[in-house]
Structure 1
Amino acid sequence: MESFHVAGFLLVIFLFLVPLFHGAPAPRTERTEDGSEIWGYVEVRPKAHMFWWYYRSPYIAQDSNKPRPIILWLQGGPGASGVGIGNFEEIGPLDNYLKPRNSTWLKHADLLFVDNPVGTGYSFVEDTKLFVKTDDEAAADLTKLLIEVFNRNENLQKSSLYIIAESYGGRYAVTLGLSALKAIEAGKLQLKLGGIALGDSWISPEDFVFSWGPLLKDVSRIGSNGLKQSNILAKQIKQQIDAGKFVEATDSWNELENVIDASSNSVDFYNFLQDSGIDHMSLTASEKSRQIAMRRYSKYLNSFRPTADGDGDLDSLMNGAIKKKLKIPENVQWGRQSDLVFNAQEGDFMRPRINEVDELLEKGVNITIYNGQLDLICATKGTEAWVEKLRWDGMQTFLSMNRSPIFCNGENTTKGFIKSYKNLHFYWILGAGHFVPVDQPCVALNMVGHITQSTDASK
């Protein structure tokens, strides 16, 4: 969802956005001399190559009696690069300027980034027919990657894997969770699944589109006419989803975003307190349908870049120093977001994934849901709506419980709230938009410590 408003994109900047490579196979595995970083490609299907990058935490002491936590970070989109965005702009050890990040999640776990699905970031295909069309197909590829990476490394097998996702990545997380469990039970995958966390995740499109109009009306961002138009389109989307017309629902979703944009004077879909900052007068109608999404997404993340020497441009970094370090094949060009990967999944984009969350809960998997208060695209109001639809047997008790406040760094200021019952945990994070680790790094880091069972969630 991070680049998320890309329905209807055409074949724009084809080679730049979707790496295609013909020739010798990509290098399999590389590592630093001290073994603190390992990376490489896995051919998840013939001619479909997925890139991964593993960081070993320098903050965690080796304890043979306690599993070493590993976080697998899954970016959204579909088609946004976790190796680039999640790593350098959110939770990795270095920022866009290659300066140390004080709030890196390495303080609580090892980190594993992937460019998923194939065709995203450094991952590439040798034939565009190999793009995945569904979340389940993406999960199958990710499971193959885990088999190749974990089954070949006994040290990793002793660890606990926590799948933490953002935006559309939440759909990959729940489908991967089920696929990985099946492979573990069949003896094909050697790892321990510690839990799954869904950050501002696009689990139930229907509930999100119904939340947009009322939320924006309540905060005075749209008026009565905008609310009326939004509700009409939301009902249309629900009818299309109920009828299994998911491509049509994606088109209607795109239309609804345009209505919200016009009614709100271009509210930022990632933080409803901000404007998207798009100069509509400079765009033709055709350009709007292709470019607004990426401009919104890029502007929001760019606004949080640290002040430092140099321009901190992620595209330049990933296609320059990082590409050279990682020995990426020369013909592979990194892109922040692949519109072609998104378009390949337009038939699955509006399909709900609530049942998968239910199934994971019933299997006893620890599920954490966290949401930024100021997010619109995956609004907390919509997240609460789909959570209330869960049929898990602990749901009624969970809903009846009170929330506990969250603080950070010893301050008395309320930073959020948490509610937990058995294996379901929900964080309401105040002052954060769609990108919680960027907006509230201290709270996010403490939350990760709780997820990986190394700190108290309320501190």
Structure 2
Amino acid sequence: MLALLALAVAALASPVHKQQQQVLKPADDGKFTVLSHAELPGYALRSKEVGLCDTGVKQSSGYLDVDSKHFFFWFFESRSNPSTDPLILWLNGGPGCSSLTGLFMELGPCSVTTGGNSTPYNENSWNSNANIIFLDQPTNVGFSYSDSADSDVSTTADAANDVYSFLQLFLKANPKFEKSPFHVTGESYAGHYIPAIADTILTGNNDAGAPDNDSDLLVINLASIAIGNGLTDPAVQYEYYPQYACGNPYGPILEQSECDAMSGKYGTCKSIIEGCYKYQSQWTCVPGAVYCNSAMISPFQKTGLNIYDIRQKCDPNNPLCYSILGDIEAYLNQPDIQEALGVDVAYKGCNMEVNQRFMLAGDWMRPYVNLMPNILEEGVKVLIYAGDADYICNYMGNRAWTLELEWSGKDGFNAAPESEWVSEKTGKKAGMFRTFENLSYLTVYEAGHMVPYDQPEHSLEFINKWISKTW
């Protein structure tokens, strides 16, 4: 989930106060299997078996430990055939929001009831036909934490290196998945994370697979990436806020005069973002986040609508609009649940301090879209999907950047027809898609920022089609 941009922008003018996470207990290594790798000095993976949520499948949880950084993960095997089904990594965004949001609110094996007292079975979980990892990253997100502020991560590039090391150790600890097709998936700010992770994997694969390299690091079988309602190419995507505000499928959000005023500010916004794209420094990238978010996001904030789903009012009791986020925190902060997971700190769903740190580092507007052409040229399949009721990373902007992307298949992709997707399961018109070679774009109807939350049946259907190569 993407933390509210307006809150992040306001924070730029305010002093940052360190949020100390409550340490529950020192790690009891007697409960964990600990694994390291000679070529990843300082990194270690500790994991333990878990019996929560979906008790019918094998699962584990634990931490990637490196120096003073500790990244929490929770893994579920497939309900179908773990040994032959693919492996999925899921990442929520923010920056600063836990991937356990995806687990309990969207696509995981169970959800939570009001008050967080129980976890009902989710029949539309993505582990129906895939093994899936939920990873809390960067540090100080969810159950992840750091022992020192000096080690806190503030850029997507640094976060990608930690994720790569995690994958190497996870696969070493679970060798039956070493050859499994691997898919990196996520939403929102994962539109930054995922291209950087894929690029890091491909670079690592080239090094590990070189004929003259005697490395013991694995060549990770990266089959695809899938980004939902992502922030990937701000220079293109920010142009479409005015158009979406007054021309979305559900009716105007703002007066036409307000949309015209927003459109009038886009030229300045684009110019500042292009400066960030060119120089990629803190000093050239932070101004774009400040100006453009104020120009394009602030007008929406006055409406009281849910920035992630314009069909709803924002829950006034939750700064991120959804009451279920409080239920997830209540469940995960129960002592017996934390004991079962073997966690070291209290759970926080979204950490605005992490959001501020990435903003102040200038990461928000950086062009991670520039990594996409090489990912495609390397033969990795790419799916960009977006719910049509989301404002913050709306489908118009996501569709536009896929059309403007410079790669060898651009002309073919732009000439490819847009086809209506009718769900085989529900019989409903579920979306509109375009595909050419290994790039696909999908608009999902009647869904907001969290597509699996709003359309659980349709989201399971399209991810299964995607990972089985039937789409």
Letter in 2 for 1:383: N
Give yes or no for the alignment of 1:89 onto 2:94: no
Q: Displacement of 1:378 after TM fit?
A: 0.7
Give yes or no for the alignment of 1:394 onto 2:394: no
Letter in 1 for 2:329: D
2:418 match: 403
1:54 match: 75
Match of 1:37 among 49, 55, 59: 59
Contact between 1:213 and 1:231, CA under 8 Å: does it hold in 2? yes
1:291 match: none
**CA distance 1:133–1:410, shift in 2 (3 Å):** closer
1:15 match: 20
Q: Displacement of 1:104 after TM fit?
A: 0.6
Contact between 2:185 and 2:227, CA under 8 Å: does it hold in 1? yes
**CA distance 1:234–1:131, shift in 2 (3 Å):** farther
Q: Displacement of 1:395 after TM fit?
A: 1.5
**CA distance 1:22–1:236, shift in 2 (3 Å):** farther
* Secondary structure, counterpart of 1:98 in structure 2: coil
Cα deviation digits, residues 145-180 of structure 1 (max 9, x gap) = 111111233212021111111110121111000101
- Counterpart-to-counterpart distance in 1, 2:142 and 2:402: 32
Give yes or no for the alignment of 1:144 onto 2:165: yes
2:147 match: 126
- Counterpart-to-counterpart distance in 1, 2:463 and 2:257: 42
Letter in 1 for 2:19: F
Contact between 2:315 and 2:321, CA under 8 Å: does it hold in 1? no
Q: Displacement of 1:61 after TM fit?
A: 6.1
Letter in 2 for 1:220: P
1:212 match: 241
Q: Displacement of 1:354 after TM fit?
A: 1.6
- Counterpart-to-counterpart distance in 1, 2:346 and 2:25: 13
Contact between 1:229 and 1:259, CA under 8 Å: does it hold in 2? no
**CA distance 1:4–1:146, shift in 2 (3 Å):** farther
* Secondary structure, counterpart of 1:227 in structure 2: helix
- Counterpart-to-counterpart distance in 2, 1:411 and 1:69: 25
2:2 match: 2
* Secondary structure, counterpart of 2:63 in structure 1: strand
Cα deviation digits, residues 372-430 of structure 1 (max 9, x gap) = 11111111111122112211111111111212222225444311122221111111111
How do 1:134-283 and structure 2 match up within 5 A?
A: 134-187=155-208, 188-218=217-247, 219-244=251-276, 245-256=284-295, 257-262=297-302, 265-278=303-316
Q: Displacement of 1:206 after TM fit?
A: 2.7
- Counterpart-to-counterpart distance in 2, 1:419 and 1:246: 32
Sequence identity of aligned pairs in percent? 24
Cα deviation digits, residues 191-235 of structure 1 (max 9, x gap) = 311110011110012323221112212232211331133224433
**CA distance 1:23–1:102, shift in 2 (3 Å):** closer
Q: Displacement of 1:25 after TM fit?
A: 7.9
Contact between 2:70 and 2:144, CA under 8 Å: does it hold in 1? yes
Letter in 2 for 1:3: A
* Secondary structure, counterpart of 1:132 in structure 2: coil
* Secondary structure, counterpart of 2:2 in structure 1: coil
Letter in 1 for 2:319: R
Q: Displacement of 1:442 after TM fit?
A: 1.2
* Secondary structure, counterpart of 2:441 in structure 1: strand
Contact between 1:74 and 1:170, CA under 8 Å: does it hold in 2? no
* Secondary structure, counterpart of 2:79 in structure 1: coil
2:37 match: none
Give yes or no for the alignment of 1:349 onto 2:364: yes
Q: Give me the TM-score of the superposition, normalised by structure 2.
A: 0.83
**CA distance 1:13–1:417, shift in 2 (3 Å):** same
2:333 match: 319
- Counterpart-to-counterpart distance in 1, 2:391 and 2:416: 26
Letter in 1 for 2:397: G
1:75 match: 92
Q: Displacement of 1:93 after TM fit?
A: 0.8
- Counterpart-to-counterpart distance in 1, 2:427 and 2:343: 47
- Name stretches of at least 5 consecutive residues in structure 1 with no aligned partner: 280-293, 303-311
Contact between 2:402 and 2:441, CA under 8 Å: does it hold in 1? no
How do 1:397-436 and structure 2 match up within 5 A?
A: 397-436=412-451
- Name stretches of at least 5 consecutive residues in structure 2 with no aligned partner: 33-45, 113-117, 209-216, 277-283
- Counterpart-to-counterpart distance in 1, 2:85 and 2:263: 47
Contact between 2:195 and 2:369, CA under 8 Å: does it hold in 1? no
* Secondary structure, counterpart of 1:119 in structure 2: coil
**CA distance 1:260–1:411, shift in 2 (3 Å):** closer
Contact between 2:136 and 2:142, CA under 8 Å: does it hold in 1? yes
**CA distance 1:254–1:399, shift in 2 (3 Å):** closer
Contact between 2:229 and 2:449, CA under 8 Å: does it hold in 1? yes
Q: Displacement of 1:20 after TM fit?
A: 6.6
**CA distance 1:324–1:112, shift in 2 (3 Å):** same
Letter in 1 for 2:348: G
2:35 match: none
- Counterpart-to-counterpart distance in 1, 2:307 and 2:237: 12
- Counterpart-to-counterpart distance in 2, 1:61 and 1:172: 26
**CA distance 1:53–1:124, shift in 2 (3 Å):** same
Cα deviation digits, residues 325-374 of structure 1 (max 9, x gap) = 11212xx1110111121111111111122211111011111001111111
Contact between 1:150 and 1:190, CA under 8 Å: does it hold in 2? no
- Counterpart-to-counterpart distance in 2, 1:254 and 1:159: 40
Contact between 2:82 and 2:131, CA under 8 Å: does it hold in 1? no
* Secondary structure, counterpart of 2:408 in structure 1: coil
- Counterpart-to-counterpart distance in 2, 1:12 and 1:317: 27
Give yes or no for the alignment of 1:335 onto 2:348: yes
Q: Give me the TM-score of the superposition, normalised by structure 1.
A: 0.85
Q: Displacement of 1:48 after TM fit?
A: 0.6
